[in-house]
Amino acid sequence: MAPSATIPAQPKDATGCVVLADGSVIWGKGFGAVGEAVGEVCFNTAMTGYQEVMTDPSYAAQIVTFTFPHIGNVGANAEDVEGDVDAAVGCIVREDVTQPSNFRSIEEFTDWMARNGKIGLAGVDTRALTRRIRKSGAPNAVIAHSPDGNFEVAALIARAQEWSGLEGLDLAIRVTRDDQQSWEGGYWRLGHGYGRAADDATPHVVAIDFGAKDNIFRNLVKAGAKVTIVPAKTSLDAIMALKPDGVFLSNGPGDPAATGEYAVPVIQGLLDADMPIFGICLGHQMLALAAGAKTIKMHQGHRGANHPVQRVGEGWGDTSGLVEITSMNHGFAVDGDTLPETVEQTHVSLFDGSNCGIAVKGKNAFGVQYHPEASPGPQDSFYLFEKFVGGLA
């Protein structure tokens, strides 16, 4: 396929670029790891938490454009890592990364990016790129960093065009844990770090890891649960053998329909057994698939820490209509028009009306599209962990 855009001349000081599948090239200053990586370019509107974003497994195979211009100014540390797996492959920022100014910083963001194999590109008009994504959708692209400024642009364009994209791609299998694990970490407090789960905590929650953020498990512990984490392809029999009081379906990357080929039958078995279920993001989408709904690829997705979501439907009492400010990261969504009569819509996005929550009628099973564990925030939606764990006692 021939490029449909004219390649701009490379500036003399350009050491990095993002090459889109349509042949467009965006030049800038590379930082972090040296090399190239392919992924989908998205944008995130959060003002804080760039390290949590870059380590969220839900961002696997994505290149994150940060709309907030000053990224890296608080450095990096070991406590703000959300997952010890390959997550975002790179990021695009407006301003050059400056020296960190924060008492929690232990290293510069540029060094952290390099050490973790992630490529950064600075000096980009991120507002223009965000407007482009909003208009034309999230494009496939290659991000590259070469300190000597040498790039094989034609080869990068070809690689971006040849990549299949996220639709139809099961990425959960790449980021899930390999083995069963008992979660021990508690909630973080300033000056204390992370606490530890109580040895005698009850009830027992089995969490299926499709690419989970660690702060989800910490919030389950904070709500009073004992947590056992199992890999994405764990069988129904193996889950039931752990004698859970409830099952949690985690967030994760990729196309829910692809991951659902092996996960949905397990979830349907859990529903048939009347097992209490709570799903977040990808887990929410697969709960919907198991209940008979469908999912769709979104035009640009929802990513940020400032997304308004409204409670709708029956069962909320005096809080019906309340608006929560939420953290989101998803490029697929549950198609609200396909919800069967056995499923109630419980939350909707006030940005575009898309589905953000469901409950299965007659079951203790619900899910939300957004991230109530937030990290770094906001914390409007912690009640969902209390709702789930409290309903297991």
- The catalytic residue positions are 281, 371, 373
Tokens of 34: 């040296």
**CB proximity list for 177: less than 8 A, separation 6 or greater:** 209, 229, 230, 231
CA dist 196 and 254 (Å) reads: 31
Tell me how far CA of residue 209 lies from CA of 249, 250, 263, 280, in angstroms: 7, 6, 11, 11
233 three-state secondary structure: coil
Amino acid at 384: L
Q: What is the DSSP letter of 78?
A: S
Q: Label the pairing between strands 355-360 and 365-368.
A: antiparallel
Residue type, position 294, single letter: K
Alpha helices in the chain (DSSP H): 50-54, 109-115, 126-136, 153-162, 172-175, 214-222, 236-241, 256-272, 282-290, 383-390
Pairing of strands 35-44, 25-32: unpaired
**Cα(377)–Cα(124) distance, integer angstroms:** 26
DSSP 363-379: SSEEEESSBTT-SSS--
Q: Return all residues near 293 (Cβ < 8 A) that are at least 6 apart.
A: 334, 335, 338, 339, 340, 343, 358
Q: Is 179 left (phi over 0), alpha (psi -120 to 50) or beta?
A: beta
Listed residue (235, 24, 259) closest to 142, CA to CA: 24
